[in-house]
Amino acid sequence: MTSYRYHDAALLWDNGSYHYMYTPFEGADFLAAYRTARADARDALTITASAPQAEAILGWPEASLAGGAPPAPVAPVGPWQTAAMLDQLLLARLHGVWSPAGDAIVDTLARRFEVAKRLRPAYTADFRATSTSETAPVESYAVFAFLLATLVQPGQLRRLNSLLKVNDLLVAAAPQLTTPVHRAALRRSLDIELRLTGALMKALP
Amino acid sequence: MTAFVMLCADTARSRAYLDALGRAALLPSRLLLLEGSGPGKSNAACTLFDNVTPVAVRAESAGIPVERLPTADVNAPATIEALARLGEDLVVFSGPGGAILRPPLFATGKRFLHVHPGRLPAYRGSTTIYYSMLAESKIEATAILLTPGIDEGAIVTSRAFPVPADRRTIDVEYDPWVRACVMADAVRQLVESGRMDGSPQEEANAETYYIIHPVLKHIAILSDR
């Protein structure tokens, strides 16, 4: 029986040796295994406490946060912390005050993630990692995955590709996500990913 | 006609290149072989080209001198020194997968001809053959003269190909073959004209892709669009 093994925690987090080059073809069963594994991971992300941000994430794009909206995203002008930046972007997204600068920051982080297989804790204004040995907190990956998921339009394969990879990492690390906001971020990200890949699979014979 | 050399590892791609260049009567004057770097993904027999005979055997049987370099590193001093000694300006490049040419190689003054499996600049980066199948149900390959910027070199020529009937052969057979067809087109164009140039890429149309996730790869292979 084919299994979906690309969210193996030991390979993804512990030694970082996993890579996606020349992955073997495993037939149609592989896609069925992927969908089952992803749906199981999503359904396991139960959210017990009530939190406005978590509810807005789960209801996105129909739901939004009420109250004072933050400013729309702008390009960084100096060194910045990944966790703080992503939290600001999340608030902006949930308040519906997005901007092209928000797209640019998320897309650049996606490129950095694709190359390094990691998000770093801090970057310079021109997106150079201030450390290449440390990784950002797992909560930041969850926020990043949600933001990326909200930006993928049907047919945008580059963004969808990054989303699949960051969700592999996050499913492997899901037990570390303890707050409603971060569990909701991963749950909604997996939902959107499944919808997008499902649309592509509809074209299969 | 301008002479050229081939710098390669013993991979399926290099074997396909020698096959296509031989069929086009465009053989290199010398082959520089990166030892210890191959064979790569597969040396199994296939239908589109000879993927069994090692490149050195094949070259020598065609009367092409083979210089074995004591390294698999395309940027190693031995590689640079070997290239710098040669009079030919044009180098057909078929190094190990993922090899990136560093500035000292370009400082030799040689022009490195490479075929990228995607339409440039729309499909820069890795595994673009699958991305273009998913997005456009077609495959294209582009010959470029390499520069330090990845996939940013001047375009010599390109060609579109149908998606193969058996998409499982892409990695080991079809990708090397389409690249080889375009390499033969490009070499003919350059050596017959004697002009080592191409058309600059339109940066506004550029998009860079990264190694395709296995889910998208499976959808691309299983699709019949």
Query: Does the CA dihedral A123-A128-A129-A131 come out positive or negative?
Result: negative
Pairing of strands B4-8, B90-94: parallel
Contacts with A7 (C-beta within 8 Å, 6 or more apart), sequence order: A37, A41, A167, A168, A169, A171, A172
Burial of B178 (0-12, 13-18, 19+ CB in 10 A): buried
> Nearest 5°: phi and psi at A15?
-125, 0
Counting residues of chain A whose pLDDT is more than 70, the rounded percentage is 95
Torsion angle of C-alpha atoms B211, B214, B215, B220, degrees rounded to 10: 80
CB contact under 8 A, B219 and A31: yes
Which tens digit of pLDDT belongs to each residue from B147-159? 988 899 999 999 9
Asked if B172 and B45 count as a contact pair (C-beta separation under 8 A), the reply is no
Q: Does B41 touch chain A (CB under 8 A)?
A: yes
* A166-194 pLDDT tens trace: 999 999 999 999 999 999 999 999 999 99
Query: What is the token pair recorded at A151?
Result: 């930006």
Question: Is the previous residue joined to A61 through a cis bond, with omega within 30 degrees of 0?
Answer: yes
User: B19, B89, B13: which is closest to B61 by C-alpha?
Assistant: B19
Q: What is the pLDDT of residue B42?
A: 56
The pLDDT value recorded for residue B89 is: 93
Whether B216 contacts A161, CB under 8 Å? yes
A9 touches chain B (CB under 8 A): no
Compute how many other C-beta atoms are within 10 angstroms of the C-beta atom of residue A204.
14
| pLDDT > 90 in chain B, percent | 81
**CA-CA distance, A129 to A122, in Å (whole number)?**
6
The answer to whether residues B117 and B129 touch, using CB atoms and an 8 Å cutoff, is yes
Q: Is the pLDDT of residue A86 over 70?
A: yes
CB distance B17 to B180 below 8 Å:
yes
Contact B214 A20 (CB under 8 A): yes
Give the residue among B168, B169, B123 at the shortest CA–CA distance from B144: B123
Least Cα distance to A196 among A150, A141, A165 occurs for: A150
Tell me the nearest-neighbour CA distance from A191 into chain B, angstroms. Answer: 15
What DSSP designation does B199 have? B
Which pLDDT band holds residue B24 (cuts at 50, 70, 90)?
very high
**The pair of three-digit structure tokens given for residue A20, joined into one six-digit string:** 């996606």
What is the distance between the alpha carbons of residues B83 and B105, in angstroms, rounded to a whole number? 8
pLDDT digits (tens, 9 = 90+) for A19-48: 788 889 999 999 999 999 999 999 999 998
Task: Tell me which chain A residue has its CA closest to the CA of residue B169.
Answer: A25
Residues of B in contact with A200 (CB under 8 A): 134, 216, 219
CB contact under 8 A, A161 and B41: no
Comparing alpha-carbon positions, the chain A residue that sits nearest to B133 is A157
pLDDT, chain B, mean = 92
* Subunit contact A31:B131, Cβ cutoff 8 A: no
Residue A195 structure tokens: 């919808």
Residue A108 in contact with partner chain B when CB distance is under 8 A: no
Residue A197 contacts B where some CB pair is shorter than 8 Å: yes
* β A122-123/A80-81 pair status: antiparallel
B100 at the A interface (CB within 8 A)? no
pLDDT at A48: 84
Q: Is B60 helix (H, G, I), strand (E, B) or coil?
A: helix
Q: Taking CB atoms and an 8 Å limit, are A205 and B135 in contact across chains?
A: no
Q: Measure in Å the smallest separation between the Cα of A23 and chain B Cα atoms.
A: 6
CB contact under 8 A, A25 and B168: yes
Test the B interface: residue of A23, A26, A31 with most B CBs within 10 Å: A23
Q: What count of other Cβ atoms lies within 10 Å of the Cβ of residue B196?
A: 17
Q: For the residues B42-54, what does the mean pLDDT come to? A: 86
CB of A195 within 8 Å of a chain B CB? The answer is no
